[in-house]
Amino acid sequence: MSNTINTIDYGNLMHKAMRGLILEVLTDVCAKGLPGNHHFFVTFDTMHPDVEIADWLSDRYPGEMTIVIQHQYESLKVTDQGFSITLSFGDKPEPLYVPYDAIKTFVDPSVEFGLRFEAQDDEDGETPEAPMDVMAEPEKDAPKKDAEIVSLDQFRK
């Protein structure tokens, strides 16, 4: 017998399932557009090695950035690894690529739904106690013309 204790890694399994949910939602939006009042706040790690954003955006938002996917977006493309999209920042279109592994939060305030991803592994390989939260979002935002970077502090309990 091995001395290694086998365990089910529920934290990583939940992350995989929730990223699959984001993939499915974005795939549907890519095919049919955003239904009704649905819109998304997506916060991601700008320092993730596979994130692709303009240098001026990563300089302005080192660490993390929140984008709003609502009325004005172009070229949404969804893959198994992430999504690319072009958003307007001050009337200037900017392409972005965000891998699912870089997403920290995914929120649809129109239906009070949200996901928050915590770091999956510590340096010693252990999974943190709270790998993911499903958040209820009580506030609703008015429509935005351009992509807007917002703080999710206003949505946290």
Per-residue pLDDT band at 126 (split at 50, 70, 90): very low
Task: Using the predicted structure, report yes or no on whether residue 156 has a pLDDT greater than 70.
Answer: no
Give per-residue pLDDT as tens, 15-29.
899 999 999 999 999
Give the mean model confidence (pLDDT) for residues 58-76. 91
In order, the DSSP letters of the chain are --SSPP---HHHHHHHHHHHHHHHHHHHHHHH---TT--EEEEEETTSTT-B--HHHHHHSSSEEEEEESSSEEEEEE-SSEEEEEEEETTEEEEEEEEGGGEEEEEEGGGTEEEEEPPS--TTSPPPS--EEEE-----PPP-SS-----GGGG--
Q: Domains of the chain: which residue ranges?
A: 10-151
May I ask the CATH class of domain 10-151? mainly beta
Give pLDDT, residue 72. 82
Answer yes or no: pTM beyond 0.85.
Answer: no
